[in-house]
Amino acid sequence: MSSKPLGTKVKKTVVRWEIKRLLSQLADTRNQKEFYQKFDKILQGLYKFAGPNQAAMENVARAFQQRHPWSELSRILLQERLSKITRERLAENFFCDWVTEAKKRDKLEENHFKVPWFFVISPTVACNLHCYGCYAHEYSRGQGLSYQTLDRILREAKELGIRFLTISGGEPFYYKDRQTGRDIVDLFEEHQDMFFQVYTNGTLLDDKKIERLAKIGNVAPAISVEGFKKETDQRRGKGVWEKIEEARKKLYQAKIMQGFSITVTRQNAELVSSEEFIDYLISQHCSFGWYFIYIPIGKEPVVDLMPTPEQRTMLRKRVWKYRSEKPIFMGDFWNDGPWTGGCIAGGRKYFHINSQGDIEPCVFIHFAVDNIEKLWKEGKGLRDAITSPFFLSIREEQLNTNDNYLTPCTIIDKPEILRKVVKEYGAYPTHNGAETIIQGEIACFLDKYSKEMDKITRPDFERMIAGDFDSPIVKLSEVIKNHQEKNRREVEIQSKKDRIL
Ligand code: SF4
């Protein structure tokens, strides 16, 4: 072995050890002032390893200096909400990796391969609940991906440098491998060098499961709610709200990081974006959460449930406001285009593997050209799916045509892209009724909706480019400009034929 790789390995180990040591010091502080002073010192120490992430790190430093609510969130997390093991897993699998592997990612880019940030796997569509409008309970818990397949996917992800995964469903905690009886927590236990966010209904998080999760520390459940007790029980079933509250309390006691996930509909948009509701979630120890708007996909979609363009805009304004006021991280999947540089699907930043192994561009795009098991049989793997002409084309169409990041979605804001690529690459539907989104009534509805959405949001996006939304901490105009440049570069990268696979 040459001395250089060994030197690099030692350097990385030292960095990791140092980060963990400093985080441990931070967690032990009880005084706010001391906490911030220590954090500042850590960031300064990390500058030299930041590489291309230097600008992001400067933003973090500024946020801390100006006491942005996320700095308070970090303090609450470290001092109250994270156990030692969770803190260390987060540091190892999230933070250290981001710092120490920046060069590796650059190198892959030089070789014309862009690694997505993360991806989502749905091990099963089966669920223990019978929610109104959802037919997941029709599937048995044995149906879905085998444990062996899940394990192999995770190993492949790590080879690509992906250490963060989101697990969706069905209900992930209901999953059980048909042959071996192994469950999803077994998988998390076996891959402690990864971090998992799990979308769950929360009802299976009993003492035993929480104890197992607390031991490994690499899982953050995001519990789904529809609103308060009335709205949640109405859709999910009587007594579900109480079970969720119980689970939240136990997760907090076990010092496991937890969050929320909400599907915003025309009916609950006002409630779930209200300050009262956010404050309630914070009081329940949620550290993060995701808003997903209802979109008309699936077997019998109901277009009237989709929030109006005005409601979607209201959601954006409220969520962005809370971000500058409240100690919770909130993602707004459809409205955060300016922060992500547009749609993240098709492997640009993420993709989805469903319970049959089909590799979809996005959790909500129910079309695929590749299946992971089939790829393996052909001697291929995840890399081939990420660089498939189907995925590349989605990215290229997006990057070339999207001049309004407030309307990023390949499904509902740029429906013509989805129709074009599905047709061009002969993508097959992966769910019953998937085609309804690209033809007939729903397609007509989306044509109108997307035009309306663009009309309403364009003036705001232009103001963002002009700097009207810049804050003393982050200049959104610069974030957008950087994304536009990066996106242009990505088109160049993906058009290169000499990609090293
Ligand atoms: S297709 Fe839509 S939902 Fe999926 S990542 Fe893109 S913007 Fe988000």
Residues 279-324: pLDDT tens digits? 999 999 999 999 999 998 877 788 999 999 999 999 999 999 999 9
Distance of CA 305 to the CA centre of its chain: 23
Pocket test for ligand 1, best of 295, 365, 401, 413 (most atoms within 8 A of CB): 365
Q: What percent of the chain has pLDDT over 90?
A: 65
Task: Compute, in angstroms, the gap from residue 456 CA to the centroid of ligand 1.
Answer: 19
- Our answer on whether the CB atom of 368 is closer than 6 Å to any ligand 1 atom is no
Task: Compute, in angstroms, the gap from residue 119 CA to the centroid of ligand 1.
Answer: 13
pLDDT value of residue 112:
74
Q: Is the pLDDT of residue 124 over 60?
A: yes
d(CA 323, CA 210): 29
Give the lowest-confidence range in 50-59, 146-155, 225-234, 407-416.
50-59
Domains along the chain with CATH numbers: 6-100 (no CATH), 115-340 (3.20.20.70), 389-494 (no CATH)
Q: Which residues contact 412 (CB under 8 A, 6 or more apart)?
A: 295, 306, 334, 446, 449, 450, 453
- Our answer on whether the CB atom of 343 is closer than 6 Å to any ligand 1 atom is yes
Task: Compute, in angstroms, the gap from residue 350 CA to the centroid of ligand 1.
Answer: 10
- Our answer on whether the CB atom of 96 is closer than 6 Å to any ligand 1 atom is no
- Our answer on whether the CB atom of 421 is closer than 6 Å to any ligand 1 atom is no
- Our answer on whether the CB atom of 409 is closer than 6 Å to any ligand 1 atom is yes
**Ligand 1, atom 4: closest residue by C-alpha:** 362
Task: Compute, in angstroms, the gap from residue 260 CA to the centroid of ligand 1.
Answer: 19
Confidence at 407, pLDDT banded by 50, 70, 90? very high
Shortest-distance atom of ligand 1 to CA 408: 7
Q: Which residues contact 478 (CB under 8 A, 6 or more apart)?
A: 470
Structure-token pair, residue 297 = 């996909």
Task: Compute, in angstroms, the gap from residue 430 CA to the centroid of ligand 1.
Answer: 17
Distances (CA, A) of 480 to 93, 237, 404, 406: 28, 43, 10, 11
d(CA 346, CA 364): 11
Using DSSP bridges, classify how beta strands 259-264 and 195-200 pair: parallel, antiparallel or unpaired.
Answer: unpaired
Closest among 82, 184, 87 to 141, alpha carbons compared: 184
pLDDT value of residue 298:
77
Residues 48-95: pLDDT tens digits? 666 666 777 777 778 887 888 988 999 999 999 999 999 999 888 877
Task: Compute, in angstroms, the gap from residue 333 CA to the centroid of ligand 1.
Answer: 7
Shortest-distance atom of ligand 1 to CA 418: 1
Shortest-distance atom of ligand 1 to CA 412: 2
| Backbone torsions φ then ψ of 384, nearest 5 degrees | -70, -35
Distances (CA, A) of 440 to 27, 394, 443: 56, 22, 5
d(CA 86, CA 78): 10
SS3 223: strand
In 217-325, where does DSSP find H-type helix? 229-236, 240-253, 269-272, 275-283, 309-323
Structure-token pair, residue 154 = 């995770």
**Ligand 1, atom 7: closest residue by C-alpha:** 409
Q: Please tell me the pTM assigned to this model.
A: 0.92
Task: Compute, in angstroms, the gap from residue 408 CA to the centroid of ligand 1.
Answer: 7
Element (H, E) at 224: strand 219-225
Element (H, E) at 492: helix 476-495
- Our answer on whether the CB atom of 408 is closer than 6 Å to any ligand 1 atom is yes
| Backbone torsions φ then ψ of 155, nearest 5 degrees | -65, -40
- Our answer on whether the CB atom of 344 is closer than 6 Å to any ligand 1 atom is yes
SS3 170: coil
Task: Compute, in angstroms, the gap from residue 160 CA to the centroid of ligand 1.
Answer: 22
Residues 383-403: pLDDT tens digits? 999 999 999 999 999 988 889
Task: Compute, in angstroms, the gap from residue 253 CA to the centroid of ligand 1.
Answer: 35
pLDDT value of residue 13:
78
Confidence at 458, pLDDT banded by 50, 70, 90? very high
Task: Compute, in angstroms, the gap from residue 203 CA to the centroid of ligand 1.
Answer: 28
Angle between helical axes of 309-323 and 275-283 (0-180°, round to 10): 50
* Average pLDDT rounded to a whole number, residues 164-174: 94
Distances (CA, A) of 443 to 295, 407, 412, 419, 488: 12, 17, 9, 9, 29
d(CA 221, CA 140): 23
**Ligand 1, atom 2: closest residue by C-alpha:** 409
- Neighbouring-strand partners of residue 130: none
